[in-house]
Amino acid sequence: MIADQYYGQHSTSAAEAVHAFEQAVFAVAAHRPAAEPLNRALEADDTLVAGHALKGLGVALLGKAEDFAKARALLTPAQDALSRADGGTDYEQALVQALQLASCGRLKAAAARLEAQVSHNPRDFLCLKLANALRFMTGEAHHMRETSATALRSMASSDAGYGFALGMHAFGLEEMGSFAEAESIGLLAVTNQRSDIWGVHAVGHVLEMRGRAAEGARWIESSRQLWPHCNNFTFHMAWHLALFHLEAQDYDAVLDLYDREIRPVETDDFRDMANAVSMLWRLEQEGIDVGDRWRRLHEIAHRRRSDATYVFASLHYLLALLGSGDTAAARELVGNLRDRALTAGLDDQAEVAAAVGVELAAAILTLHSGATAPANLCELSLNLPKLGGSRAQRDVFMRTLLLMAANSGNPAAFDAVNKVRTAMKSEDRFARVTHKRLSETAA
């Protein structure tokens, strides 16, 4: 057995495989491409249990229907490797069992299995990172905060994963509304680990939520030296930078960032689509002509209209279809979400569709058609965290609910939604402009 520098215990005697695997773990932590070192690890030892499990979990986190199918296929070699290792170590068992759960759409249970391993071995960095990623997708920030806190209580500052763990904790704190502590811990994270783009990102979230737009733009710009090393997280960092320019009404800068750095390539990764779609939707809410940019997103959204695997993604596809004027496909997508909700109990996302996805999608269709806004706008706003993603990402839906309330001329509905929104972020220019619209509508 060999222990890696991130406190993973491997049932192998192949030091070369473990060394390559360590490089893959670093890549995952730093949001860099991990496929090459992971493949080298498996070439050095094709029975490396953690290598097979990480490969499968990485695919499951991509969140599309075919990705879960691929993850289920990758479960077989992981289980075979575990069997050849006479049951493997606790670490290997946790990873394989988490893959089994995640590949079936049980993301919460997969995260819980990894968190149990962190409770058993709090310095187990990879299980912490993967649990954090899964809880991000399920919108359970309290778990993100608590599990990282558990790990940090046992970690030493010299541990290879310590700085990255600080960055995760900062993000969990921010998502739970502990902004001052999140900023402090985030700054400590990037001081300890200069490659921690997630820690940089966490501080950026704090600045976004507190309305510190000019400072936020400078902060994100200061991290540019890390971006060329990242995977598609680079696009997301550019998205955050554009949010700060949007608040400053520098629309030319936003559109330039969109074309050059948010959507420089036409990928169908749901995270890349969320960046692009939500930015165009925000711009149009502010009366900005986005040209033919919706057309370039339409093909992907249309192709994905029947893929209700991850509700957060489906709702962004809905926005893209509406933005491009394809109401028929948008209605079809909402129907597919309704069908998904009927399977509640089979997996996590069916329950999300039933709890919030269908009603939110129907409400967005209502806004687009000009029909009367639903009466449950406040309830919808309270249920948004179930979608997953971050406060900043979900704000595209919060803004939309606020706009619905304003258009309805209902001050009580507007105040209720705005109260939920300002509990998560400082009142911004959009809230003030929308309140003015409410006054004009109600007059």
Domain residue ranges of the chain, discontinuous segments joined by +: 1-138
Whole-angstrom distance, CA of residue 293 vs CA of residue 218? 27
pLDDT of 374 above 90: no
Query: Are the CB atoms for 126 and 28 separated by under 8 Å?
Result: yes
pLDDT of 77 above 60: yes
Q: Is the dihedral of CA 328, 331, 337, 343 positive or negative?
A: negative
Per-residue pLDDT reduced to its tens digit, 291-347:
999 999 999 999 999 999 999 999 999 999 999 999 999 999 999 999 999 987 788
Q: To the nearest whole number, what is the mean pLDDT of the chain? A: 96
Strand partners, 10: 2
Per-residue pLDDT reduced to its tens digit, 226-255:
999 999 999 999 999 999 999 999 999 999
State the DSSP string of 121-167: STT-HHHHHHHHHHHHHHT-HHHHHHHHHHHHHH--TTSTTHHHHHH
User: Averaged over 250-261, what is the pLDDT?
Assistant: 98
Q: Name the pLDDT band for 443 (thresholds 50, 70, 90).
A: low
Residue 380 sits at the vertex; the CA angle it makes with 379 and 383, to the nearest 5 degrees, is 90
SS (H, E, C) 278-335: HHHHHHHHCCCCCCCHHHHHHHHHHHCCCCCCCHHHHHHHHHHHHHCCCHHHHHHHHH
Give the pLDDT confidence score for residue 59 in this predicted structure. 98
Q: Write down the pTM of the prediction.
A: 0.96
Whole-angstrom distance, CA of residue 195 vs CA of residue 225? 10
